[in-house]
Amino acid sequence: LLNNNRIKQIVRRSFEDLENLKYLYLYKNEIQSIQQRAFNGLRSLEQLYLHFNSLESLEPETFSDLPKLERLFLHNNKISRIHPGTFSQLESLKRLRLDSNALLCDCDLMWLAELLKKYAEQGNIQTAATCEAPRELHGRSIVTLTTQEFNCERPRITSEPHDVDVLLGNTVYFTCRAEGNPKPAIIWLHNNNKIDMKDDNRLNLLQDGTLMIQNTKESDKGVYQCMAKNIAGEVKTQEVVLRYFGTPSKPTFVIQPQNTEVLIGESVTLECGVSGHPHPRISWTLGTGSPLPQDSRFAITSSGGLFIQNVTFSDQGQYNCNASNTEGSIQATARIIVQDSPRFLLIPTDQTVTEGQSVDFLCSAEGHPPPVIAWTRAGGPLPNDRRHSILSTGTLRVMRVALHDQGQYECHAISAIGVRTLPVQLSVTPRVIPVFLHPPQDVVAETGQDVAITCAAQGDPRPTITWVKEGIQITESGKFHISQDGTLSIQDLGVADQGRYECIARNPFGFTSSAMQLTITATDVGRSGDTFVATSIREAISSVDHAINSTRTELFSKRPKTPNDLLALFRYPRDPYTLETARAGEIFERTLQLIQEHVQQGLIVDMNVTGYRYNDLVSPHYLNMIANLSGCSAHRRTPNCSDICFHKKYRTHDGSCNNLQHPMWGASLTAFQRLLKPAYQNGFNLPRGFSLAEDARDLPLPLPRLVSTAMVGTETITPDDQFTHMLMQWGQFLDHDMDQTVAAISMSRFSDGAPCSEVCSNDPPCFSITVPANDPRVRNGRCMFFVRSSPVCGSGMTSLLMNSVYAREQINHLTSYIDASNVYGSTEQESRELRDLSSQNGLLKQGQVVPSSGKHLLPFAVGPPTECMRDENESPVPCFLAGDHRANEQLGLTAMHTLWFREHNRIAMELSALNPHWDGDLLYHEARKIVGAQMQHITYAQWLPKVLGEAGMKMLGEYKGYNPNINAGILNAFATAAFRFGHTLINPILYRLNETFQPIRQGHVPLHKAFFSPFRITQEGGIDPLLRGLFGVPGKMRVPSELLNMELTEKLFSMAHSVSLDLAAINIQRGRDHGIPPYNDFRVFCNLSSAQEFEDLRNEIKNLEIREKLRSLYGTTKNIDLFPALMVEDLVPGTRVGPTLMCLLTTQFRRLRDGDRFWYENPGVFTPAQLTQIRQTSLARVICDNSDHIQQLQKDVFQVSSYPQGMVSCEEIPMVDLRLWQDCCEDCRTRGQFRALSQRFRSKRSPGFSYPEENPAK
């Protein structure tokens, strides 16, 4: 602020170094002059106030270096004259004030009037400027003055030049005089080109306008013309010729023909003037050299020009002017460019749309030159609101139309030739939020009946109706059907169907909902299956135990021979509690199946056709007897959460007591959660596509193997230009912390004990993957091995123990929380097997030492031959033991397990040194707590942002604290389909790199040779080469047409002489096994449109070829399986996921975070100082601390970097400072005894802290 001073002058470059200055106030000073470039360097200046000073004139370059200047105030000065161009460089100008000055509005100021008028027409710059003189214009705004009022006079010629004949070397004078106001400038042209006197000192322009040429040369010959020009206009004299006397000379051009543009249908002349002695003869030819067409439209003028009338497009091209005499010949070429005024090709039509929708007005035109399309609204510019945009095709798109957008729009086709305009009308109808015509009413019904609940709504556009039962969306299945008009039909009512149902009517403008209560009354009559209970349960126990025993003998008494054996071994539950739980569920389900078969044999009708009434099968008191005898009742866990001192600080290993109101939420060996009601063929437990006797209305489902070969398997791999293969590896490691489905514990049929791998049948628990007849790879087998996941006791058929049929649910073997259960195990027993209880150091058991680093590998698992020793010649090394028994599945995963087991022991040792008084249990739990927090931080701060991008992280939302009402359990659709997106990130090769990031001597490993191969770690260089291969190599890019590499679809667990498995087909089959509803239902859940036709998928799946493949495979959008559809959706820009997958992942990861009482950011879990340290964690630091010798890597191992430029030393990577965990106390000797904190927290049970609602067995 320099206003109100006595500044008199501003000199050059006064403000040179103030490049960030935005406002400069110099008003109310005594400034009389401003030197040129006084404001140089003020590149950011937005406001310059110079009013109320004594300025009389402005230099031309005063405001030349102010690109961002928006306001220039010069009013109340004494300015009378302003040089043309003073304001021409102010590209950001919005306000200019020149009023209250001494402006002389004569012809010299006319340029300013034209500039201000141009500003006014554009409408974006406000100006003010008034005349002081002459007297008759005093006080008038300059913008209102006409050309005549400026008293300008166009030039007029008073003396013309004449032709001249001259001898070489003489002097020539061409006279030219003109008058006008202001006095016109004289310009001379030679052969149509302006003469620049500076180029040749022989040429001079005399005071009166005469052109003097001294010492004339050959090149001076030709045509001369004088032009007089001022601001009011310009005028030219006639053309005159300078010729030479005498000696013969070759032809030279006086006027050369010029390229000329002409409108179609008009006439054109190509001038051609030559001189020479004797006078040359002129002829014209086409550019190709051929003669002109014999056409009366072509003629040669007396001066030698080519005249063409009524020009057509065929006349466009090159023409040659040829001149010759006895001394020689010359040629000049010119081009005729035929132009056409714009013509509309696509004419926009009037449109009517509903408020909130988007609309396109098509408009395109052709012409020569091609016209540009512009749009206006009611004659003015389009609103500048980002909703209105003009596409490259010329289409006007209006997004999210509002009522005030209604009105006329104009499409203009603009070219140098002219403008054509078409008006079009947009009408907007107000949107109508759905309203109910018939809201649902409460219903009372008996078990075994069918019921239809009506719900009709109207709105514009027509609303979609969905039904929700107690927070879970209902999907189409054998149990539920939602008709077109919104009526919900429920088949074969059971007590489980009782509850609150909500009908939701939704269209793009909003939704409305209405609830009803369905009450079920049980009829207490004997059931047809009661007489068969005793025999059936004996038979069930016998057949299930026989099948389990033959499976165990088969799996554990010999080495695995086939991929089927490998998969079975790999998925087989190891701990006795899981085995007993699964056995109970299988016996219960088998008992009911046998009862059903016995009842069926006594019936004449075929129940498969009529649909069987499950709730009529057995009386409730017999069900309880089956529950007790099968072992189901014994396996209803009710955790003891009474040791509150322990539960306040640490997690249990099985995840129980995390939520103190619902102690089993998120615990291991509990059912997966559902977002939508499951979709089973019979409504209860049969997978979709289980048998071909489906409802005749529906198209049969395609074989999973066919879907895999048609659209999932790929040999083409596109490397990811942003992210490394570690992105995939962290995803798999994380997945093994959150979920593992418990497979059936029998690989043999219950009915006759035949192994599922040998029979291609669907007898429980087998559910083989059928191989299509013309399969590209499998020639020697009709099916691939697959067994169903174990049912939870009390779901599927087994749920009758709740006196009703519940749809079948599957068991999550792991805790769902991100709690490093893949390091520590998911049950107390697993955790004890992993701990080193021989010392008080809180360590995990350690395996053999790596001699070069002194660090330990994982310990080996003990027991019968395992999947890692399938071929002793190749692999004599047993499997490693870790918190998740899949640790050996592939080498990259084994390397991650090794890192984190070492990280636990490293932290425990450091804590022990800091707190020598702590006992082994306290050290173990504190180290475990830190490791879990590190995994959470890496996942949410470093991994998820790359997968979900900015859009997904916004959808996930900020952490707002623990919410005990959120169940953090894993969603069935997440485990079975959504999180399996990681399979599309897997490279077909595991790279192994040395210290300089070159391949190691033993080379890289094809993926199919990396399965169950721990010997490659013990014998081929340890974990370092594998880790470098993960963070030093780009991952596989997710491309909708390149999904799973062939190593996974054609060589999974490959072994000689046997059929390899197909991961994609397994994923699809598993989705059907688990009753995962089709893709379309999840689109509705995620607020995307319901796809009625395949074309409705075009926004999410833009590739027409992929949509056509889906159409040929599935026939109807209602059938599309979730997994393949999620995989082929186009990626949301900046992410690695499509829209539906983003919705499912954010839903799950939000629940995992907000429903975890031990979430690392939840206040009280760590002190603020400790939390600051946890946030220093990075996967790069964990690798530095726990690899054998890695010292060079990028700070973010998920980000692609090159060696050595993108790498840093480990010393530069922040570490967690564990001194913040040091006890500062006087009574440390007793304080650190874990037993003092927790009186052996597992030893006692307190009934007061067991939750009855979690104990259905009562």
Alpha-carbon span 233 to 246, nearest angstrom: 41
Alpha-carbon span 878 to 870, nearest angstrom: 10
Q: 668 phi and psi, to 5 degrees?
A: -70, 160
Share of the chain above pLDDT 90, in %: 50
Residues β-bridged to residue 421: 412
- Concatenate the DSSP letters of all residues of 966-996 into one string: S--PPBHHHHHTGGGGGGGG--SEE--B-TT
Element (H, E) at 185: strand 185-190
Alpha-carbon span 463 to 505, nearest angstrom: 6
* Segment 72-76 mean pLDDT: 93
Which among 321, 207, 219 has a CA at the least distance from the CA of 271?
321
pLDDT tens digits for 99-143?
A: 999 899 988 888 899 889 888 888 888 899 999 888 888 888 998
Residues β-bridged to residue 190: 193, 224
Which among 569, 517, 956, 558 has a CA at the least distance from the CA of 785?
569
pLDDT at 1227: 57
* Segment 162-191 mean pLDDT: 87
CA distances from 262 to 305, 309, 313, 333, 867 (A): 16, 10, 10, 17, 84
Alpha-carbon span 916 to 331, nearest angstrom: 103
- Concatenate the DSSP letters of all residues of 709-733 into one string: IIIIEES--PEEEEEETHHHHHHHH
* Segment 394-398 mean pLDDT: 94
Q: How confident is the model at residue 987 (pLDDT cuts 50, 70, 90)?
A: confident
Q: How confident is the model at residue 635 (pLDDT cuts 50, 70, 90)?
A: low
Other C-beta atoms within 10 Å of 1070: how many? 24
- Return the structure tokens found at 213: 């040429």
Q: Where does residue 903 rank: exposed (0-12), middle (13-18), buried (19+ CB within 10 A)?
A: buried
Residue 548 vs residue 1025, higher pLDDT: 1025
Amino acid letter for position 148:
Q
What fold does the segment set 153-244 form as a domain?
A: Immunoglobulin-like (2.60.40)
pLDDT at 1238: 46
* Segment 203-232 mean pLDDT: 87
Lowest mean pLDDT among 341-345, 647-651, 1144-1148, 1246-1250: 1246-1250
Residue 983 labeled ligand binder:
yes
pLDDT at 1057: 40
Q: What is the DSSP letter of 857?
A: P
pLDDT tens digits for 705-734?
A: 899 888 876 777 888 999 999 999 999 999
pLDDT at 314 over 60: yes
- Return the structure tokens found at 680: 């089973």
Amino acid letter for position 1231:
R
With both helix axes pointing from N to C terminus, report the angle between 1139-1154 and 944-956 in degrees, rounded to the nearest 10.
80
CATH architecture of 433-521: Sandwich (2.60)
Q: Where are the domains positioned within the chain?
A: 1-151, 153-244, 255-338, 347-429, 433-521, 530-638+667-814+1040-1078+1121-1128, 821-967+988-1032+1135-1235
The torsion angle over the Cα atoms of residues 142, 147, 153 and 157, rounded to 10 degrees, is: 130
pLDDT at 802: 44
Alpha-carbon span 1083 to 167, nearest angstrom: 93
Cα of first residue to Cα of last residue in the chain, in angstroms, is: 83
Residue 934 vs residue 164, higher pLDDT: 934
Share of the chain above pLDDT 70, in %: 88
Q: 355 phi and psi, to 5 degrees?
A: -50, 135
pLDDT at 420: 92
Alpha-carbon span 1129 to 1100, nearest angstrom: 5
Name the catalytic one among 75, 190, 736, 813: 736
Average pLDDT, the chain: 86
Q: 437 phi and psi, to 5 degrees?
A: -90, -45
pLDDT at 1207 over 80: yes
pLDDT at 22 over 70: yes
pLDDT tens digits for 1107-1129?
A: 999 999 999 999 999 999 999 99
pLDDT at 1217 over 50: yes
Residue 874 Cα to chain centre, angstroms? 44
pLDDT at 1246: 38
Alpha-carbon span 529 to 802, nearest angstrom: 17
pLDDT at 518: 94
pLDDT at 1256 over 60: no
Q: How confident is the model at residue 774 (pLDDT cuts 50, 70, 90)?
A: confident
* Segment 6-17 mean pLDDT: 89
* Segment 327-335 mean pLDDT: 93
pLDDT tens digits for 349-360?
A: 999 988 888 999
Q: Phi-psi bin for 136: left (phi > 0), alpha (psi -120 to 50), beta?
A: alpha
Tell me the HSE value of 818 on the side-chain side, using a 13 A CA sphere. Answer: 27
Question: What is the CATH class of 1-151?
Answer: alpha beta
pLDDT at 153 over 60: yes
Same fold, 1-151 and 433-521: no
Alpha-carbon span 1007 to 732, nearest angstrom: 15
Residue 1248 vs residue 966, higher pLDDT: 966
Residue 79 vs residue 1049, higher pLDDT: 79
pLDDT tens digits for 1159-1199?
A: 999 999 999 999 999 999 999 999 999 999 999 999 999 99
Residue 532: strand, helix, or coil: helix
Which among 25, 120, 34 has a CA at the least distance from the CA of 73?
25
Lowest mean pLDDT among 15-19, 77-81, 871-875, 978-982: 871-875
Q: 477 phi and psi, to 5 degrees?
A: -160, -175
* CATH superfamily, with its number, for domain 821-967+988-1032+1135-1235: Haem peroxidase domain superfamily, animal type (1.10.640.10)
Alpha-carbon span 1076 to 324, nearest angstrom: 90
Is 635 considered catalytic here? no
Q: How confident is the model at residue 70 (pLDDT cuts 50, 70, 90)?
A: very high
Q: What is the CATH number of domain 255-338?
A: 2.60.40.10
Other C-beta atoms within 10 Å of 205: how many? 16
Contacts for 581 with CB less than 8 Å, ≥ 6 apart? 635, 669, 742, 790, 793, 811
Q: How confident is the model at residue 1252 (pLDDT cuts 50, 70, 90)?
A: very low
pLDDT at 838 over 60: yes
Q: How confident is the model at residue 640 (pLDDT cuts 50, 70, 90)?
A: confident
Lowest mean pLDDT among 336-345, 516-525, 565-574, 1022-1031: 565-574
Question: What is the CATH class of 347-429?
Answer: mainly beta
* Segment 454-470 mean pLDDT: 89
